[in-house]
Amino acid sequence: MSDPIVLGYQEMDTVHEEFEELLATAASCADQQLPQQIKVLVEHLKGHFAMEDAWMRQDGFPPAECHIAEHAAVLKSAEEVQPLVDKGNVHVGRSFVRTLASWFPAHATHLDSALAAWMCKRQLGGRPLVFHRRVASID
């Protein structure tokens, strides 16, 4: 597992950490547990995205529509996948979890980081400072 994605806005960082933990659990669970893990993941996504969408609408975040549309597309996929997994289609569920895991870093880095900076600037008067460990390269 990689380092968690930290953007410097505590509420967002907390929900992102929860999301990454749920993804890891869904990725490693037994097949018979996958339907329940997908259900938990979908419920988390609904709350996670509703929270971010509300921030964007309340605080006039300029690129809100693009960000909100991406959330809606992910939720639409999640709501299409869940009944298939409930009917025993484990392959679709595993593929969905892998897709979410590969989608999330770019979403967080590009869209959520801009929102985190906007929220910090509006509430605290400045951008967040986030320090990351430097990973040594192997030559």
Residues 13-63: tens digit of each pLDDT: 999 999 999 999 999 999 999 999 999 999 999 999 999 999 999 988 999
pLDDT tens by residue, 65-90 = 999 999 999 999 999 999 999 999 99
Pairwise pLDDT comparison (119 vs 132), residue with the higher score: 119
The CB density around residue 29, as the number of other CB atoms within 10 Å, is: 17
Q: How far apart are CA 30 and CA 7, in angstroms?
A: 32
Q: For residue 84, what is the enclosing H or E element? A: helix 64-86
Three-state secondary structure of 114-126: HHHHHHHHHHHCC
